[in-house]
Structure 1
Amino acid sequence: MGQFNNEIWFVGAEMAPLVKAGGLGDVMGSLPKALLKAGMNVRVVIPYYKNIIPKDLMEVEKSYPAGTVNFGEIPFEFGVKTGFASGGIPLVLIEQGHFFNREEVYGAHGGAEGYKDNLWRFAMLAHGTAYAMKILGIPLVVHAHDWSGGFVPAVVRQTLGDKRVHVEGAGVLSTKLSKHINAKGLRPALVFTIHNLRYQGVYGIDDFYDIGLDFKYNSSFAYEHFGTINSLKGGIKLSDVLTTVSPTYASEITTHSFGFGLDGELKNLKDEGRLKGILNGIDLDYWNPKTDNFIYYNLNLKKNRYNLESYKEWKNFKLKNKRALFSEISMPVKTDKNGVPFPLIGIVSRLAEEKGINELLDALFNWNDFPFQVVILGSGEDYIERKAGRLSEVCKDKVYARIGKYDEALSHKIYAASDIFVMPSKFEPCGLSQMIAMRYGCVIAAGDTGGLHDTVSDISDDNIEEPTGILIKYVDAAGISWALDKLYGFYISDDIGKWCSLIVNSANRCFGWDDSAKVYEDVYYSLL
């Protein structure tokens, strides 16, 4: 090894639309696309999940000789393949049948019940990434993501040493260059992104000796954390710079309430200038109500900036998609005494305690004859899944729940049909669903935290000129009921302009990647 190429490698467990369990997948699919568009040289490294990657979304072009890693005394062989995802994003696929030929990315119920060998599965991803560098050349930057990419910095350092490559030249990461740099004994710059600090990849310390890492990484300066292996902690400690997915969340995680035991480490990194909050974006081409192939009816407006005169077409767009969705799921369109359809609440979420869905369900159970219809898509913790299913049984003409597995097509249809999109999160690193929902003309009700605070303009704030929804200060059944009741008041108001302006304001919010991609570009160059 020793020859560098002018590339940035993204490494993680997911990449939409090939394979997605949450927001990480969206970012792994859309940020590299934005960087490629900006002229940078990018590859994405993911496991080769043969069972769950649709063949029409990816083209495998080449296979390379197999590599081997010893986990304890057991050798495991793995393969490396290269190809392209739809949209032309270059791929490196780490192939290992025993670890990656599964029906889910992390485990059952959207990862709520993780596979017992996830430690070895994602250690395999790290070793496969380092082996691929031997074949394809060493990238100038390795950008690893979340706990599933947490072993990448250690394996890169173990393979190439601790001294970081330094390269002069503003365009060194550009696709216009075919630049190779001989830098024997140097390693790439290491960037690490936390998407959700709650999930850290914590395992028994005895298993450390069976994942192919040098003993020196079993220390408080790397993966050891109060007598356990902590994949996320090691990824944080061994990277050159740490990013997270919104400015507010970058501040929150340095506090005891949001730090999940790592707030001390994170505060130190922030004080050193190594922790940056960069707001995520969405793929504006993929999430586009005018061209979306998943939805029943597209938005018939040519302009990209909307005004109150656009509301008639937005109303038509919503109503037609709502009727079509209800026909598909066999739910009647309910109306009030004046014949006005009940507003549709959309929920596309992991059904986890942090998401506030349990409290939302309590609010609806406790609300006498609530004036909404609700469509829920999600999977997660068993007791929340059961509660959502029970609500749909009790209120079958008002509530529909698709529980257990993510459905991409249905998610698009929910965004297009919903009047109100609810994300009552207790903490939310960034959240992409609210950005998508606003693009489809939804009014947002969300917890006042993390990226939701950064992206939802609160109608309760008199200083906000173009509100897009309401922020819930106290995420409990009473707080959620208050927020929904207030939005319902706008929906049925005699002053229809209030509701129209909320929809138009939401649709005008643009959360593409252009600005944030430039910030990431600056981060990469600052390390080189």
Structure 2
Amino acid sequence: MDVIQGGRGLHATLNSHSKKFVGILNGIDTDAWDPATDSFLKVQYNAYDFQGKAENKEALRRHLGLSFGAVRQPLERNKRPVKATNSPKFKLVGDSSSIVGCITRLVPQKGVHLIRHAIYRTLELGGQFVLLGASPVAHIQKEFEDIASHFQSNKHIRLILKYDEPLSHSVYAATDIFIIPSIFEPCGLTQMIAMRYGSIPVARKTGGLNDSVFDIDNDTIPLQFRNGFTFLNADEQGLNDALDRAINHYKNDSDGWRQLVQKVMSMDFSWDSSSLQYEELYEKSVARARAATRA
């Protein structure tokens, strides 16, 4: 997070003592969030055998009334329609359209304007979109209720504007891509759970998202850590860059996508991993205090 934006008037103090601060990522409960044992799923799966993810995708589509066929998207100007289409205004994209998911509180912190934009952009790119979440802010809740009503008869968009724990497990398991376009995010758990279930994050580079999601096209990051698609500016152009690359990668490089899914599912975002860092920090603090006393 930008220190001035998040410092709440203490940014000068934070900057001058920055070496005294240590950041430790959240950890998730890998027993509660485990696709290999999750009783909420239609089919369990794991990083070494994730065929069950495709079956969960079918199950969610059936449950929400989403189409199993190709998404039809507007034809680009000056492009001829392919023979497979029944209308010159649309072209067919792949038979297995990606599902983009989002599970969140609909509040300004979470980038609601970018979530709204992602719904329409996903449809333009030939994908499907599932949003699960509600807002405590009346005008935001109303705005998304209007969007849900607008897409009520569309077979590629579903907005479920409530809290639903069992359904959240199914959405994580069924989606191919997960968007987390937060304006600020001290750490976040959504991106970790999504990766645990093999859903590739599209995240804004802020706070803990910037410390846990690394762009697959960033050559400055070791290959083993690259696990998603990121963007910096909290605007539509920034989101488009990351989301477009994610959906195109899904559609055009199936082998590479499977390898990416297996990689993110194997990453350790467990509480055990985080707790070890707390223990190490405590031991270092005690050692420094003892050394200062002896001096």
**TM-score normalised by the chain length of structure 1:** 0.46
Residue 74 of structure 2 aligns with which residue?
none
2:40 aligned partner, one-letter code: F
Residue 235 of structure 2 aligns with which residue?
476
| CA shift for structure 1 position 289 | 0.4
Residue 23 of structure 2 aligns with which residue?
277
Residue 345 of structure 1 aligns with which residue?
100
Change in CA separation of 1:432 and 1:366 when aligned onto 2, cut-off 3 Å: closer
Q: How many aligned positions are there?
A: 261
Identity across matched positions, percent: 35
Q: Helix, strand or coil for the counterpart of 1:451? A: helix
- Is 1:329 the counterpart of 2:77? The answer is no
CA RMSD in angstroms, aligned pairs only: 2.4
- 1:489 corresponds, among 239, 248, 256, to 248
Query: What is the distance in 2 between the residues matched to 1:506 and 1:368?
Result: 25
Contact kept, 8 Å, 2:121 with 2:240, in 1: the verdict is no
Q: Helix, strand or coil for the counterpart of 2:163? A: coil
- 1:438 corresponds, among 195, 204, 214, to 195
Query: What is the distance in 2 between the residues matched to 1:418 and 1:341?
Result: 12
**TM-score normalised by the chain length of structure 2:** 0.79
2:178 aligned partner, one-letter code: F
Change in CA separation of 1:295 and 1:431 when aligned onto 2, cut-off 3 Å: same
Aligned ranges for residues 122-521 of structure 1 at < 5 Å? Answer: 249=1, 252=2, 255-267=3-15, 270=18, 273=20, 275-299=21-45, 301=46, 306=47, 310=48, 313-314=49-50, 316-336=51-71, 337=92, 340-365=95-120, 369-380=124-135, 381-395=137-151, 396-403=154-161, 405-464=162-221, 465-466=223-224, 467-493=226-252, 495-521=253-279
Q: Helix, strand or coil for the counterpart of 1:456? A: coil
| CA shift for structure 1 position 294 | 1.5
Larger Rg: 1 or 2? 1
| CA shift for structure 1 position 439 | 0.7
Residue 76 of structure 2 aligns with which residue?
none
Query: What is the distance in 2 between the residues matched to 1:358 and 1:334?
Result: 29
Q: Helix, strand or coil for the counterpart of 2:146? A: helix
Contact kept, 8 Å, 2:125 with 2:247, in 1: the verdict is no
| CA shift for structure 1 position 468 | 1.4
Once the two structures are superposed, residues 408-458 of structure 1 have per-residue CA deviations (whole angstroms, 9 ceiling, x without a partner) of: 111111100000010011211111110010010111100011111111121
Structure 2 gap segments, 5+ residues each: 72-91, 290-295
2:11 aligned partner, one-letter code: D
Q: Helix, strand or coil for the counterpart of 2:258? A: helix
Query: What is the distance in 2 between the residues matched to 1:441 and 1:491?
Result: 13
Change in CA separation of 1:387 and 1:523 when aligned onto 2, cut-off 3 Å: same
Contact kept, 8 Å, 2:29 with 2:271, in 1: the verdict is yes
1:279 aligned partner, one-letter code: L
2:126 aligned partner, one-letter code: P
Query: What is the distance in 2 between the residues matched to 1:398 and 1:367?
Result: 9
Query: What is the distance in 2 between the residues matched to 1:323 and 1:363?
Result: 22
Once the two structures are superposed, residues 9-53 of structure 1 have per-residue CA deviations (whole angstroms, 9 ceiling, x without a partner) of: xxxxxxxxxxxxxxxxxxxxxxxxxxxxxxxxxxxxxxxxxxxxx
Residue 137 of structure 1 aligns with which residue?
none
Change in CA separation of 1:414 and 1:386 when aligned onto 2, cut-off 3 Å: same
Query: What is the distance in 2 between the residues matched to 1:286 and 1:346?
Result: 20
1:393 aligned partner, one-letter code: S
Contact kept, 8 Å, 1:360 with 1:476, in 2: the verdict is no
Contact kept, 8 Å, 2:119 with 2:129, in 1: the verdict is no
Query: What is the distance in 2 between the residues matched to 1:296 and 1:366?
Result: 29
Q: Helix, strand or coil for the counterpart of 1:280? A: coil
Change in CA separation of 1:382 and 1:358 when aligned onto 2, cut-off 3 Å: farther
Contact kept, 8 Å, 1:295 with 1:413, in 2: the verdict is yes
Q: Helix, strand or coil for the counterpart of 1:379? A: coil
Residue 77 of structure 2 aligns with which residue?
none
Change in CA separation of 1:412 and 1:506 when aligned onto 2, cut-off 3 Å: same
Whichever structure has more helix as a proportion of its residues is 2
Larger RCO, structure (CA 8 Å, separation 6 or more): 2
| CA shift for structure 1 position 372 | 1.4
| CA shift for structure 1 position 498 | 2.1
| CA shift for structure 1 position 483 | 1.5
Change in CA separation of 1:399 and 1:387 when aligned onto 2, cut-off 3 Å: farther
Structure 1 gap segments, 5+ residues each: 1-248
| CA shift for structure 1 position 365 | 3.7
